[in-house]
A and B are shown apart, each in its own frame.
Chain A
């Protein structure tokens, strides 16, 4: 009796540990056909008027969707912006219509390209902290997520999410 119980407890504990660690590392959120992979935000300098935030969006549905922006309790609003670098000159533009995620496609928002911009954060973003946010999609509606604050991007080996030929 008791030995049988012990035998089942151990795998359950292992499973629970695996689930916990998976959520800690993979850190993803979903709503319907939309999956948000590893939302993170860069640490900000003291009194920074803006902050950059990054994530991967996967649309497993059969219709295209569009990420248009969002909100968070820690800033005025979240906008979709694009940074381009041409001939040594950095240019940043808001994308008021957001960014399209084609059916079955995955889009990476990363430093040096398309990113989310937190306008007027009301607190400094400290490494290791996290904050909640709501993303707005044209079709899927709102998706509740939580950003983790990192100093540098997570280094991944062999990215399967790359899409659309970024140049480093």
Chain B
């Protein structure tokens, strides 16, 4: 009898501990406004508000519930930016409808030259699901800060300039928290798997 009682007590204790753990972990993952990760990496995920090349405002609130990819670039970038966009287009073509499960955002770090009109023309060459976003200088700074990303204007000769910028692709989960980086030098299959995983995030919520 006392053995059974001890067993019941243990089971109840376990249930209580488990329940508390679930409540605490749910609050941590869902309630954290900054979406901090527990990996010790820089804080990624925060408030931003920009306008797409199709003229709609996109912000971190409007993206809640949808996983998304973010990368920074500019159209006066001859090498890594168009390459990333073409490669993302290829990956999305291969994934087909699976790529409908996430948003892809290309944020310009050069809103001065990358007007909405210029971006609209530029984006006709890529997967139509990719959105180019631009903001005012302050909105662009806020977006960079939200992803702990870096961009700096570097003057060149004859009044021209270029931009130094963070080049990786951020993978963001549907709750707005950071899901890791995607490097375009990784094997193609690795990149496809990362995209499949981020696309599934809206279903499993993990």
Q: Which residues of A contact B (CB under 8 A)?
A: 42-52, 81, 83, 85, 88-94, 96, 111-112, 115, 117-118, 151, 168
- A88 close to B164 (CB less than 8 A): no
Alpha-carbon gap, A66 to B126, bound state (A): 37
- A85 close to B167 (CB less than 8 A): yes
Alpha-carbon gap, A128 to B71, bound state (A): 29
State the 7 A-B residue pairs at the shortest beta-carbon distance, nearest first. A45-B125, A52-B78, A90-B167, A47-B121, A50-B78, A91-B164, A52-B79
CB distance from B126 to the nearest CB of A (A): 7
Number of interface residues of B (CB under 8 A): 29
Q: Binding site of B, secondary structure by majority: helix, strand, loop or mixed?
A: mixed
Contact with A along B66-80 (1 / 0, CB 8 A): 000000000111111
- B76 close to A49 (CB less than 8 A): yes
Residues of A near B166 (CB, < 8 A) are 88-90
CB distance from A99 to the nearest CB of B (A): 16
- A88 close to B167 (CB less than 8 A): yes
Alpha-carbon gap, A4 to B124, bound state (A): 59
Q: Which of B78, B85, B121, B166 counts the most A-chain CB atoms under 10 A from its CB?
A: B78
> CB within 8 Å of A: which of B160-196?
162, 164-168, 185
Residues of B near A42 (CB, < 8 A) are 78-79, 82-83
- A92 close to B77 (CB less than 8 A): yes
Alpha-carbon gap, A81 to B156, bound state (A): 12
Q: Does B122 contact A (CB under 8 A)?
A: yes
Q: Does B24 contact A (CB under 8 A)?
A: no
Residues of A near B157 (CB, < 8 A) are 94, 96
CB distance from A148 to the nearest CB of B (A): 17
